[in-house]
Amino acid sequence: MQIRAGYRISFNCLNPMPIHLRLSVHPDRRGDLLSSDTLVTSAPAQVAEDRDEFDNILTRVQAPAGLITLSTNFVISDSGLPDAQNWAARQFDVQDLPGEVLPFLLGSRYCETDRLSGLAWSLFGGTAPGWARVQSIVDYVHQRIRFDYQQARPTRTAEETHEERVGVCRDFAHLAVTLCRAMNIPARYCTGYLGDIGVPAVDAPMDFSAWFEVYLEGGWFTFDARHNKPRIGRIVIARGRDAMDVAMTHTFGTAWMTEFQVFTDEVGAGSSSLAAAE
């Protein structure tokens, strides 16, 4: 399967300023690219690439004052298979975990493990450790939280999501990540493209999506508390402890976003794939 994906994002900058982006296809998927995932700027701007502490690609743009549009358009090869599942995957004891996954056991800006630990153990302490326990957490979050794009709030934490019972995909992911970490299961937050491939199309503007991965026997596995079903065609952009680590854009000055478009289409499918807005 081939997928065409990309975005157009425009800013009106009050003054010249740096803009940092985490919107490039993750290095794990760069080998699948069939055309270049190259940032195009509508105005002359200095562009450089770095790697952040989680091995995401960080693009640094020195934008001029005024209007600038940032865009990319690429084709990527995909297996066409849904997210892998392994119901036999065991949960590791903490002392047996590799050192590189330990940061994903800890609390973070949006994931207050200290405040939700008691809740997690009261709800899931009796479940079988491993895949079944993670799925129980995903089922709980999926059922408790009502998706409402109009209720999006960039400062909402996992505990607030649990109490308010509403959110967008980042809130679903934050709550599930927090509950997993509280149960000693390493969990990391992910962002990327997710079109409606293999599922009924949703008549809503396309957005980047958020899901999460947990570390069990066999490595990292994908879970999605928003949709709660294996999906086809995920394209990972960035991974981190929570949304703070993988902000798609960061402007260092006064700027107004004037355009935001994201697309993810199966090549040859004959119709546009619009993903559920965040």
C-alpha 171/C-alpha 136 separation (Å) is 17
Q: Do β-strands 209-216 and 187-193 pair in parallel, antiparallel, or remain unpaired?
A: antiparallel
89 within a domain of the structure (yes/no): no
Helices (H) and strands (E) in the chain, counts: 4, 14
29 within a domain of the structure (yes/no): yes
203 within a domain of the structure (yes/no): yes
- Nearest CA to 91 out of 121, 138, 134, 137 is that of 134
179 within a domain of the structure (yes/no): yes
**Residues spanned by the domain of 237:** 94-245
Within this chain, do residues 173 and 188 fall inside the same structural domain, yes or no? yes
Q: What is the CATH number of the domain that holds 26?
A: 2.60.40.2250
Within this chain, do residues 117 and 235 fall inside the same structural domain, yes or no? yes
- Nearest CA to 225 out of 211, 214, 243, 213 is that of 211
Q: What is the CATH number of the domain that holds 220?
A: 3.10.620.30
pTM as predicted: 0.94
The answer to whether 210 touches 191, Cβ cutoff 8 Å, is: yes
Compute CA 249 distance to the chain's CA centroid, rounded to the nearest angstrom. Answer: 14
167 within a domain of the structure (yes/no): yes
Q: How many domains does the chain contain in total?
A: 2
pLDDT of residue 276: 33
121 within a domain of the structure (yes/no): yes
Overall residue count recorded for the chain in this entry? 278
- Number of Cα atoms under 13 Å in the Cβ half of residue 193: 28
Within this chain, do residues 240 and 144 fall inside the same structural domain, yes or no? yes
The answer to whether 189 touches 242, Cβ cutoff 8 Å, is: yes
- For the stretch 167-217, pLDDT in tens is 999 999 999 999 999 999 999 999 999 999 999 888 777 899 999 999 999
* Nearby residues of 177 by Cβ (< 8 Å), 6 or more positions away: 111, 158, 187, 188, 189, 212, 242
274 within a domain of the structure (yes/no): no
pLDDT of residue 173: 98
pLDDT of residue 99: 97
pLDDT of residue 270: 54
Low-confidence ranges of the chain (pLDDT < 70): 269-278
Within this chain, do residues 123 and 236 fall inside the same structural domain, yes or no? yes
Within this chain, do residues 189 and 52 fall inside the same structural domain, yes or no? no
